[in-house]
Chain A
């Protein structure tokens, strides 16, 4: 059942409307404890290994026809996975570089008047179905890698932006006041106090953006950018269930794996004492 939930989340294109999972402003997702049970550390890798292994065994047990073999071979699967990761990594990196500084700026008192406008624009990026949004960007510019990236960035800006702002907002005001009172400059307060304390919430936003990008990158195939969407699309158009299932499982596993890695990294990097 976790599988189906994930498929809709990770594959907004196939699921109809763009699934925008409970994203921004979810500080509850912040991992506050570094420790945690072995299950929280190893549960996900084991689950992924079981799902991937199971799919592999199932596909291997089938007699694949030539049409299926054209998609389900190591070379094609590797290429699609790398394309997918490339789209995800580049778009997420750009979103982080753009949205975090923007979120910091918007959380400063002088920016208060423009906050609603900026959030409104970011909301459009998330509210409009990603398929439509990327189509608009590509109609505007041209078919290609970078227009695709722009589309992905537009879709995933809000969670990082909003979580950066929420994260900074929920920083204990007295800690900030005391830091100022001890003679830290505003920049020192930001770097040494506010950002470390906002980190858990910000990392939650980054995870959400990653998930959105992994899912939306599956649309890359419609715009000539390949990715694992290519395999799913082939499975649908050629009416080959093994191909379709392999594509869906790979996208889902990739999304879960990336989310898990980001979460683990967040837990390791989170400031102690929180």
Chain B
């Protein structure tokens, strides 16, 4: 058991991905403690990916992260960044090339936002003009108007804004690697959600190699390209993609940690644009004569018809009874039910399901960026997706298990 835990767990390596951070047998034993805080952590992080370390409090995830930028010096083991051994280099120099974001932001209260963001470039000896230009660029990037905010002090900002500045500060010297310790942990749920989304969008642009620590499995599933579920002393229970973690947890510890509702959580990982939505729903323009609308509805297998306005945006759901009243003279715009459940293609299936349940019609309408009708998602569609995904993974892992059996026999 211990051998498998302390031995290298290379984890899944996507074809062509280049390892950026390699931790080899990283161990930290604090003086006067019997147990190591981090015991032989071996982990490879691919370039441009977000790797999440997730685990209950006290499992050593923050310590593990602080070992990487050597805020805590490892007792033994090796840290390789981009193939270079960083275990014995100058730690200050090392840290200037690793972005660092912490939960409480750690902004310096006596320095302006611009001075805060420009800290690392200043340490690296950039000239003033270059720092000022970079600061403005970064504030822009995190969605804060430089002219408004550069001269303010941290206490004049909201928690969410402070955290944005924290992210901008970590990106200042364009480090290839970033460490983020529960960066969105102390923020209200609504702002957190927004910051997470903004950060993922930012990551699409900057493609940093990121190690992200959290105790929140939902955040891990959302942010991570790969997730390392840690148990005590930073032993890796499973290092895998979010999909694999949900469909085939390695053991009871992992499935307990993921908690109830793994199937529901999986809906967070698929997006509406990736599935086949129903496009056969009957539609008609609001300006179509009622008799024609009726003919369209009758010709379909649906009981309701979606009326679209002149620009192709969904307007109302109507059924045959509504159409009967329309024939008696009521305007189409006043009949049926308004379309409330609307999502865009980048929404997750969880969003779509949520809208669906909240709506008074049995399906969610998908629209494109301009609001024009694309198709609909109903419960059937979502069920099909869940079932297919599960079947696929089960078949895949069964095959893997069978292939590994002889090897296991040898180890024993």
Query: Which A residues fall within an 8 A CB radius of B?
Result: 172, 174-175, 177-185, 188, 192-193, 196-197, 271-274
Chain B residues with CB under 8 Å of A183's CB are 92-97, 120, 123
20 residue pairs A–B, Cβ–Cβ below 8 Å: A174-B102, A175-B108, A175-B109, A180-B95, A181-B179, A182-B95, A182-B100, A182-B120, A183-B92, A183-B94, A183-B97, A184-B123, A185-B92, A188-B123, A193-B108, A196-B110, A272-B153, A273-B112, A273-B153, A273-B155
Mostly, the A contact residues are: helix
A-B pairs with beta carbons under 8 A, tally: 69
* Contact among B96, B104, B109 with A182 in the assembled complex (CB-CB below 8 Å): B96
From residue B162, how far is it (CB to closest CB) to chain A in Å? 11
* Contact among B93, B94, B97, B107 with A178 in the assembled complex (CB-CB below 8 Å): B107
Residues B354-385 near A (CB distance < 8 A): none
Indicate if the CB atoms of A273 and B110 lie closer than 8 Å.
yes
Name, among A172, A271, A273, the residue most crowded by chain B CB atoms within 10 Å (CB to CB): A273
B86-106 CB contact bits vs A (8 Å, 1 = yes)? Answer: 000000111111001010111
From residue B116, how far is it (CB to closest CB) to chain A in Å? 9
Indicate if the CB atoms of A178 and B96 lie closer than 8 Å.
no
Query: Does B18 belong to the interface (CB within 8 Å)?
Result: no
Given contacts A181-B69, A184-B92, contact A273 B109 (CB under 8 A): yes
Query: Does B71 belong to the interface (CB within 8 Å)?
Result: yes
Indicate if the CB atoms of B105 and A174 lie closer than 8 Å.
yes
Please, how many angstroms separate the alpha-carbon atoms of A179 and B71 in the complex? 11
From residue A93, how far is it (CB to closest CB) to chain B in Å? 26
Please, how many angstroms separate the alpha-carbon atoms of A185 and B179 in the complex? 19
Indicate if the CB atoms of B104 and A174 lie closer than 8 Å.
yes
Chain B interface residue count, CB cutoff 8 Å, equals: 27
Indicate if the CB atoms of A178 and B105 lie closer than 8 Å.
yes
* Contact among A178, A188, A196, A271 with B106 in the assembled complex (CB-CB below 8 Å): A178
Chain B residues with CB under 8 Å of A184's CB are 92, 119, 123
From residue A256, how far is it (CB to closest CB) to chain B in Å? 29
From residue B235, how far is it (CB to closest CB) to chain A in Å? 25
Identity of the chain A residue whose Cβ is nearest the Cβ of B113 in the assembled complex: A273
* Contact among A174, A182, A274 with B110 in the assembled complex (CB-CB below 8 Å): A274
Query: Does B111 belong to the interface (CB within 8 Å)?
Result: yes
Identity of the chain A residue whose Cβ is nearest the Cβ of B119 in the assembled complex: A182
From residue B334, how far is it (CB to closest CB) to chain A in Å? 58
Chain B residues with CB under 8 Å of A196's CB are 110
From residue A78, how far is it (CB to closest CB) to chain B in Å? 42
Chain B residues with CB under 8 Å of A180's CB are 71, 95
From residue A233, how far is it (CB to closest CB) to chain B in Å? 47
Chain B residues with CB under 8 Å of A272's CB are 110, 153
Indicate if the CB atoms of A177 and B108 lie closer than 8 Å.
no
Query: Does B60 belong to the interface (CB within 8 Å)?
Result: no
